[in-house]
Chains A and B, each alone.
Chain A
Amino acid sequence: MKGRHTLAAAHIGVAVAAFGVASVMGLLQALSIADIQFPFRSESLYYVSLTAHGVLMALVFTTFFIMGLGYALSLECLGRISGRSAAWIAFWVAVLGSVMAAVTILRGQSTVLYTFYPPLRAHPLFYIGATLLIVGSWIWGAVMIASYRSWRREHAGEPVPLSIHGMLATIIIWYLATAGLAVEVLGMLIPWSLGIVGKVDPLLARTFFWWFGHPLVYFWLLPAYVLWYTVLPRVAGGRLFSDKLTRMVFILFVLLSTPVGFHHQFADPGISSGWKLAHTVTTYAVVYPSLLTAFTVLASLEVAGRMKGAKGLFNWIGRLPWGDPFFASVALAMIAFVFGGFGGAINAAYAMNSMVHNTAWIQGHFHVTLGTTVTLTFMGATYWLLPRMLGRELRLPGLARIQPYLWFGGMVLFSTSYHIAGLLGLPRRVFTAALAGQSPLPWGALTKVAAVGGAILFLSALAFVIVVLATWVSGKKIQAPAFEFAVPLRPVTAPGVWDRFGLWTALAVVLLAAAYGYPLIQLLLHPRYGSPPFQPF
């Protein structure tokens, strides 16, 4: 595996491997909740696989994919990766950390789910492994920033390439978000799991977790947006509608992604309703750049259809390349996000949130957003990246063409059922919908429909992994196609106010301090007792 993009390809390879393992876990859960018997079905297998699925999908698959995408874009758009050896060290640190965490999970020593709320205690190596994964991603961010600075010195009067602009925004959000996680894991959980301190405050830990946990969503989503803005219009044969507005959108995310965590804690004691309301305002504000994204990306696609000769109001839609696996994946991802976004707006309204909090609605919701919008985009992007990174033709193109549709169809069954079951009160994260023998009838039927959806999703995941493996191993060697990016209708010609990353980062820190400073002080001033550790099994 030697070539220009070996570094990026190694990251994408780990991402796909993690995704493949996690998909098997996903199937087991969908069957188990629906009370469908299979060999070795047990409570412990269910909760172990739930933990593994969450950690591998939400943390390992996404982080490695985003790091790989970042390196590929840096090399193509900036012509460099400054600090390749640091990048390789980061890769191995992150791999080591992921393996450590995964081994303790699969041995049943860390069945704490991907949220690892104390006082449930995992094996110390689970927390240390997760930390190493994050440290790897911090080094990745530093390498990306170093590459940008080196490029900037040579291109003083130019605007930064749009895809790098988006990746820099992603990295800033990631540093702000993981600061909260570092306080929780390094300051509280690692010493506590090792027995150095006896007790931790579960609410304080939870608050730091959600400081990290919601911006984590934008860490996933923004690289997907980068692909929507800079690659999708090109693949569709059109132009990017607005360069400047796109830059503004990414900066709005830098400002608004982090001061929003309390909307995950509406049902928690210990945080006053005024601060929950304040975070509600920022949560709705961060919907705004996504609404602008919907406009710009759709307008870019309409331009594509019209450049191909479409007339009338809607027939540009039919002119788009629906048979291209990248295009189909991203287009379906965007359709899913219309529903996912409005579902999110419901979750953020606390009166409605109390009907759906911690019910199956939530797993239905994030399988539309993370599980479809982000995942389908990343799968499509893998089809786009592989020939360019490896210099190999995509194998089994027919399978690659139907795979995104299979995913979308499976997810419609899976997610719709869980949304409805959640509205009917089915709690999330249960081994069986027959809750202590009490199961209102629709729960059973709905979870069975979701299981059918889960089986279809598994087939789609399998198809994806097979295409990637076949391409990697035996794809026909070709001259690697060029990385081509969308040309804006109205290009930005000089660095402007949206390129001032230092200024915007400083403002984001101020907003974060305003959103968390007082509530944290309030929490710390109460007499707090803390909890000793408990084993989940």
Chain B
Amino acid sequence: MNVEFYEKIWMWAAAALIVVFLGAIFLTAGLQAVYPPSHIETIDPTALATHPEFSNPGVKLQPDGSAVVTVVTQMFLFSPDPIEVPANRPVTFRITSADVIHGFEVVGTNANAMAIPGYVSQFTVTFKEPGEYIIACNEYCGLLHHNMAGKVIVK
């Protein structure tokens, strides 16, 4: 290919930049197991009322001190609310929706997942700072989307 000297330098430098970006992602994925929430589990959104787990959303403390939190999102609230979890312990959220798509974002943290009807979103986070956090719905879900907020209390 008839490219000039500077062009060639740039082509290699640009390629190197992209390799560095991707390298950073692969390294954290490989060494620290940093992955996006990618749980695969389906559920009937029209039958949550009779579902053994999601008919009774709430915080279940485990013997090892960690917690599993079952959350149902619906127009325009989170259940349970507030959610009380321990600090410095792994907290696993299991979230689904009873109607449309909602977002589950714990403001100021990287706990951020979509609640999609028919699917269970699951991810684990550790809250290091005790205090109160806002849960915001960050996917448009209807007329009162901006009123859909909850609370996480970390103790």
Chain A residues close to B by CB (< 8 Å): 43-44, 47, 50, 111, 113, 117, 119-120, 201-203, 206, 241-242, 244-245, 265-273, 276-277, 280-281, 284-285, 287-288, 291-292, 295-296, 299, 345, 349-351, 353-355, 357-359, 424-425, 427-432, 435-436, 438, 440, 490, 522, 526-532, 534-537
Contacts and interface: CB of A to CB of B under 8 A. Distances in A.
A425 B146 contact: no
B5 to A, nearest CB: 12
A536 B112 contact: no
B140 A429 contact: yes
Interface in B129-155: 134, 136-149
Contacts of A201: 118
Interface string B102-116: 010101101111101
27 contacts: A47-B140, A113-B140, A117-B100, A117-B139, A119-B117, A202-B116, A203-B119, A267-B36, A268-B113, A268-B114, A269-B40, A269-B120, A276-B35, A295-B7, A299-B7, A349-B25, A350-B36, A354-B112, A355-B112, A358-B138, A425-B136, A429-B140, A436-B147, A529-B42, A529-B43, A536-B142, A536-B143
A296 B100 CA distance: 46
Contact of B146 (A120, A203, A244, A430): A430
Contact of A357 (B101, B112, B120): B112
Contacts of B1: 244
Contacts of A527: 42
Contacts of B2: 244, 490
Contacts of A536: 100, 141-143
A528 B42 contact: yes
Interface of B: 1-4, 6-7, 10-11, 14-15, 17-18, 21-22, 24-26, 28-29, 34-46, 75, 99-101, 103, 105, 107-108, 110-114, 116-122, 134, 136-149
A288 B140 contact: no
Contacts of B4: 242
A284 B103 contact: no
Given A202-B101, A354-B36, A526-B42, 18 more contacts: A43-B144, A206-B116, A267-B113, A269-B120, A269-B122, A295-B14, A349-B24, A349-B25, A350-B34, A351-B25, A354-B110, A355-B112, A358-B112, A425-B107, A529-B44, A531-B45, A531-B118, A536-B142
Contacts of B21: 284, 345, 349
A350 B138 contact: no
Contacts of B14: 288, 291-292, 295
A490 B6 CA distance: 15
A244 B112 contact: no
B18 A287 contact: yes
Contacts of B36: 266-267, 273, 276, 350, 353-354
Given A203-B116, A276-B38, A436-B147, A537 B139 contact: no
Contact of A281 (B22, B144, B146): B22
A353 B99 CA distance: 25
B116 A425 contact: no
Contacts of B29: 277
Given A244-B2, A288-B15, A358 B139 contact: yes
Contact of B108 (A268, A425, A429, A528): A425
A66 to B, nearest CB: 27
A120 to B, nearest CB: 5
A256 to B, nearest CB: 11
A357 B143 contact: no
Top 7 closest pairs, chain A to chain B, by CB: A425-B107, A427-B138, A358-B138, A291-B14, A436-B149, A273-B38, A430-B146
Nearest to B21: A284
Nearest to A530: B118
A429 B35 contact: no
Nearest to B44: A529
A350 B18 contact: no
